[in-house]
Structure 1
Amino acid sequence: MNDPFARLPEAASFTVTSTTITDGATLPPAHRSGRDLSPQLSWSGAPAGTKSYAVTVYDPDAPTGSGFWHWAVADIPATVTELPEGAGDDTGSGLPDGAFQLPGDTRQARFVGAAPPAGHGPHRYFFVVHALDVASIGVPAEATPAVLGFTMAGHVLGRAVLTATAETPGEVVERLEVSRVVPAPADAVFAVLTDPQGHVDIDASGMLMAAEGHPVERAGDRFVVHMDRDALGDVPLGKYDVEVVITKLVPGEEIAWTVEGRTGSHVRHVYGYRLEPAEGGTRVTSYYDWSEIPEGWKRRLTFPVVPESALKATLGILERTVRRRMARR
């Protein structure tokens, strides 16, 4: 079983407890995707010489090849030994002065709850308090948790670990859908989704660097996206181009596409958005469907390659992008 500490420098142990989660037990609903409430954490017995703490939450069992980072907080003062429940909200309202949250694998600088794929079995969630020998670890606020971990490696005096689990039972789902009401008319939302640059603007992964092409108008239209896999640091693919191929387009109602590489066979999984009127704006449903891909690809890749949490993050960025474009009109 994957041990996230196996190749890290040894460090002294100290104690972390929680009033909202239990070591070895199942995560309560409050700390899962949808509610995304960070748990209460208290720690004691840190090694002498501790000058600050960092807190991380990591799922090594996520089907990504690199695990999944749910939360990272740096520069917690050495005088602080507790974080209240909900400290990891969008504003970090419960964090002490000087501490800050780094963007996790959804590219949100906040706590993101557990969301293991249906039928994938139990996942472990490692809640770790790191005792450090420096008052500030010196990473920028936009750094990834992996960069934080790499930088901390030579400064860790001790680790306090609490492990909880989560599982989504049932048959393996081959389609994900998430929704959000965007306070804007459908045509404003659709203008972003049909614009090649709009796809870059709403990307939550950090891989989409730029796009070339005209706004799409019908199924069969294409445009090019310049990718940089090094932004994720998981697979050494570097920079490459893909073509986005529109598979469905109903103006103001729905758009879907697949992605083709420049060489070889194509996976043919489908991404899309449905729009419908809603009180306060437009209900936007983002979906990801891999039900029609060839069996060969199902054996080669672990699906979904895009988690539900990433779809949610993209919807938030979509709303922000639509607001900004409308403000410029």
Structure 2
Amino acid sequence: MNDPFARLPEAATFTVTSSSVTDGAVWAPEQLGGKDVSPQLSWTGAPDGTRSYAVTVYDPDAPTGSGFWHWAVADIPATCTDLPEGAGDATGSGLPQGAFQLPNDARLAQYVGAAPPAGHGRHRYFVVVHALGVESIGVPADATPALLGFLMSAHVLGRAVLVATAETPGPELIEVSRLVPAPADAVFAVLTDPFGHVEIDASGMLMGAEGAPVTQVGDRFVVHMDREALGDVPLGRYDVDVVITKLVPGEEIAWTVEGRVGPHARHVYGYRLAPAANGTLVTSYYDWSQVSDEWRGRVTFPVVSQAALKATLGILERVVRRRSPAGA
């Protein structure tokens, strides 16, 4: 994992605390993008010889190749050991005399809150108080935080660090579409048939099925599975119940899967059908937004890829053609 201090000169450690965030915890809403309220900070135990401080907030996990600087404050007097929440507003009204903010990576001389891209995972935000052996680092007011870091690297006596986190959930749904040159009722006949599910499977997991064609929500049938095809969980061969969660004849069908032991994952597979010129536009979707934390800790979701959904649609067209009385 990227360590922003890995190649910097070693420095003594001291303590920084905050009423806004606890080390290792998620940012409060006030510190996120849109509200942009800088965190309250207090620090103690700086090394002897400290003559000023700098404060930075940096995200090394941003998808930029260089991280993202959210806040940089230079020339904080050695007599200051506290910044109130919101000190990093556009005017710097809460900063002590002589201190100033550099433009962050949004090119704003203020604190800008955390806003990781949706679906990019958990980001870390290194909140650092740097104890320096000089009263002024001599950095221009319009310089970048990276230049501040470079100029102060030779003067750092100590660092006080806490790490906050933030994550923006991504859309937990994938879907693909394909024009199938057949009427909707022909496509739907395959999707409501338990054996049709085995025929169109692109994963290689479905070995067989038992049950009658489904006609309403709550209907279910048994599918014989072989997880070895995915190579992710050593479950071997087992049976699951396919439980219909939505069924609108000729328009949409969706289902979830239940194993022999609960709790069930509650991910949903489905198809939507819409009339189109020369056939039916079929959309296959997979929704794992309702999967429990317990299951997320056991299995990596999504368990099927967008490519697998595309492959299933191609096989679906082939099965519909084969089942067609005209063989077209």
TM bucket (normalised to shorter chain) is: 0.5 to 0.7
AA at the equivalent of 1:66: S
Partner of 1:165: 165
AA at the equivalent of 2:103: P
Give the conservation status (yes or no) of the 8 Å contact 1:16–1:41.
yes
C-alpha separation in 2, matches of 1:27 and 1:113: 9
Give the conservation status (yes or no) of the 8 Å contact 1:117–1:172.
no
Per-residue CA deviation, residues 128-180 of structure 1 (Å, 9 max, x unaligned), is 0000000000001000000000001000000000101000012289xxxxxxx
1:145 matched to 2:137? The reply is no
C-alpha separation in 2, matches of 1:80 and 1:61: 30
Partner of 2:31: 31
Give the conservation status (yes or no) of the 8 Å contact 1:118–1:172.
no
C-alpha separation in 2, matches of 1:129 and 1:90: 20
| Residue aligned with 2:154, SS | coil
1:134 matched to 2:156? The reply is no
C-alpha separation in 1, matches of 2:48 and 2:8: 20
Q: Compared with structure 1, are the counterparts of its residues 172 and 79 closer, same or farther at alpha carbon in structure 2 (3 Å cutoff)?
A: farther
AA at the equivalent of 1:131: A
Per-residue CA deviation, residues 17-45 of structure 1 (Å, 9 max, x unaligned), is 00111100000110000000001000000
AA at the equivalent of 1:138: G
C-alpha separation in 1, matches of 2:170 and 2:129: 33
C-alpha separation in 1, matches of 2:134 and 2:170: 46
Partner of 1:82: 82
1:105 matched to 2:105? The reply is yes
Per-residue CA deviation, residues 201-236 of structure 1 (Å, 9 max, x unaligned), is xxxxxxxxxxxxxxxxxxxxxxxxxxxxxxxxxxxx
Per-residue CA deviation, residues 54-111 of structure 1 (Å, 9 max, x unaligned), is 0000000000000000000000000000000000000000000000000010000000
C-alpha separation in 2, matches of 1:158 and 1:10: 8
Give the conservation status (yes or no) of the 8 Å contact 1:76–1:99.
yes
C-alpha separation in 2, matches of 1:114 and 1:165: 9
Give the conservation status (yes or no) of the 8 Å contact 1:59–1:123.
yes
AA at the equivalent of 1:144: T
AA at the equivalent of 1:8: L
Partner of 2:43: 43
Partner of 1:93: 93
| Residue aligned with 1:118, SS | coil
| Percent of aligned positions that are identical | 78
C-alpha separation in 1, matches of 2:26 and 2:106: 22
C-alpha separation in 2, matches of 1:70 and 1:3: 17
Q: How many residues align?
A: 173
| Residue aligned with 1:154, SS | helix
* Aligned counterparts, 1:186-201, within 5 A: none
Q: Unaligned 5+ residue runs, structure 1?
A: 174-329
* Aligned counterparts, 1:61-80, within 5 A: 61-80=61-80
C-alpha separation in 2, matches of 1:109 and 1:136: 18
Partner of 2:295: none
Partner of 1:6: 6
Per-residue CA deviation, residues 271-319 of structure 1 (Å, 9 max, x unaligned), is xxxxxxxxxxxxxxxxxxxxxxxxxxxxxxxxxxxxxxxxxxxxxxxxx
C-alpha separation in 1, matches of 2:50 and 2:115: 33
* Aligned counterparts, 1:1-329, within 5 A: 1-171=1-171
C-alpha separation in 1, matches of 2:151 and 2:125: 22
C-alpha separation in 1, matches of 2:146 and 2:172: 29
Q: Compared with structure 1, are the counterparts of its residues 127 and 172 closer, same or farther at alpha carbon in structure 2 (3 Å cutoff)?
A: farther
C-alpha separation in 1, matches of 2:150 and 2:40: 26
- State the TM-score, normalizing by the size of structure 2: 0.52
| Residue aligned with 2:147, SS | helix
| Residue aligned with 1:148, SS | helix
CA RMSD of aligned residues (A): 1.1
AA at the equivalent of 1:163: V
C-alpha separation in 2, matches of 1:88 and 1:149: 18
Larger radius of gyration: 2
Q: Compared with structure 1, are the counterparts of its residues 106 and 172 closer, same or farther at alpha carbon in structure 2 (3 Å cutoff)?
A: farther
Per-residue CA deviation, residues 252-278 of structure 1 (Å, 9 max, x unaligned), is xxxxxxxxxxxxxxxxxxxxxxxxxxx
- State the TM-score, normalizing by the size of structure 1: 0.52
AA at the equivalent of 2:111: F
Aligned structure 1 segments of 4 or more residues deviating by more than 3 angstroms: none
